[in-house]
C-alpha cells in the first residue's frame, strides 16, 4: 500500500496530477478539488491509496486522510468501485456524504452520477454504522459541492476550455448532454479570462443541484 506521496508537482490536470517522488513521476488520480489545490513546481503532500487490478495499478490521491478514508470506506458497499467512489467525493465532501447517509437522504446521494436509487439505498444501509457521528460542521449540511480550493491555473481562450472541462465531467460519469447543459450555464462571458478549474467547480455545483 502506498499511503502517501510527497514531491514536486510536475503536471496538473483537471482530475489528476503527476508528483515526482525520488525521480519518478507518479500519476495520481484525484478529485477536481484536490487537483486544483496543487501548483506546478510546488510540493504536494497527498494521502493516497493504490488500487490493484489484474491489468493495472492505479494510484488515487486526496488532500486529507479523511477524504482518503472515505474513498476506501464507500467501496465496501456492493457495486461501488474506485471510479464511483471518486465521483462521490467530487460532488460531496466527506461530511456531506456522512450527513446524507445518516439521514437516509437519497435525493442528495443520487446527485452523484452513477448513483441511482438502489445504490443510494445500499449506501445508507451498509454505511450508516460505519461512518461514525456527524461533525458539528456537518450537522446541518447535506448539500453538494465540488470541494477543494485554489485554482489549477488559467486555461486556453476560445472554446478549448469547454472540451477539457466536458471530458472531465463525462469522465466522472455525467452524460455529454448533461455536461454541455452545465457548461452553457457556467460559461464565462466572451473575452473574459478563462480559469478552467473554477469553471469545473462551478459546473459540478450546477450538476449537483
The domain ranges of the chain are 4-62, 69-138, 160-207
Residue 188 pLDDT level (bands cut at 50, 70, 90): confident
Return the higher-pLDDT residue of 202 and 45: 45
pLDDT tens by residue, 124-182? 999 988 886 665 554 544 443 334 444 444 444 456 778 878 888 887 778 888 888 88
**What is the rounded distance in angstroms from the CA atom of residue 99 to the CA atom of residue 42?**
34
User: Half-sphere exposure of 101 toward its Cβ, with a 13 Å CA cutoff?
Assistant: 26
- One fold for 4-62 and 160-207: no
pLDDT tens by residue, 63-117? 999 999 999 999 999 989 998 999 899 888 899 899 999 999 999 999 888 889 9
Query: How high is the pLDDT of residue 147?
Result: 41
CB 109 within 8 A of CB 124: yes
The sign of the CA dihedral 137, 139, 141, 145 is positive
* pTM confidence score: 0.72
Q: Which CATH architecture has domain 160-207?
A: Orthogonal Bundle (1.10)
DSSP per residue, 66-131: HHHHHHHHHTTSTT--HHHHHHHHHHS-HHHHHHHHHHT-HHHHTTSTT--HHHHHHHHHHHTTTS
The domain made up of 69-138 is a member of CATH 3.30.1330.200: no
Return the higher-pLDDT residue of 138 and 190: 190
CATH H superfamily, domain 4-62: Nucleic acid-binding proteins (2.40.50.140)
Report the interhelical angle of 65-74 vs 117-127 (nearest 10°): 110
CA angle 193–45–31, rounded 5-degree value: 50
pLDDT tens by residue, 13-72? 888 999 999 999 999 999 988 988 899 999 999 999 999 988 889 999 999 999 999 999
Amino acid at each position: 500500500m502506498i499511503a502517501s506521496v510527497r514531491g514536486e508537482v510536475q503536471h496538473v490536470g483537471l482530475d489528476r496530477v503527476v508528483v515526482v517522488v525520488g525521480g519518478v513521476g507518479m500519476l495520481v488520480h484525484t478529485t477536481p478539488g484536490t487537483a486544483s489545490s496543487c501548483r506546478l513546481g510546488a510540493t504536494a503532500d497527498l494521502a493516497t491509496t493504490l488500487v490493484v487490478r489484474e491489468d493495472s495499478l492505479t494510484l488515487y490521491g486526496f488532500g486529507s486522510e479523511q477524504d482518503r478514508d472515505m474513498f476506501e470506506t464507500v467501496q465496501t458497499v456492493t457495486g461501488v468501485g474506485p471510479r464511483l467512489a471518486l465521483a462521490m467525493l467530487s460532488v460531496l465532501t466527506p461530511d456531506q456524504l456522512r450527513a446524507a447517509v445518516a439521514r437516509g437522504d437519497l435525493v442528495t446521494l443520487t446527485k452523484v452520477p452513477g448513483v441511482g436509487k438502489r445504490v443510494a439505498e445500499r449506501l445508507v444501509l451498509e454505511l450508516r454504522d460505519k461512518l461514525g457521528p456527524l461533525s458539528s460542521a456537518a450537522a446541518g449540511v447535506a448539500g453538494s459541492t465540488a470541494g477543494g480550493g485554489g485554482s489549477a491555473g488559467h486555461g486556453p481562450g476560445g472554446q478549448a476550455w469547454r472540451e477539457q472541462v466536458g471530458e472531465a465531467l463525462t469522465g466522472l460519469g455525467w452524460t455529454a448532454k448533461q455536461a454541455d447543459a452545465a457548461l452553457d450555464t457556467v460559461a464565462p462571458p466572451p473575452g473574459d479570462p478563462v480559469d478552467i478549474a473554477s469553471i469545473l467547480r462551478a459546473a459540478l455545483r450546477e450538476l449537483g443541484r
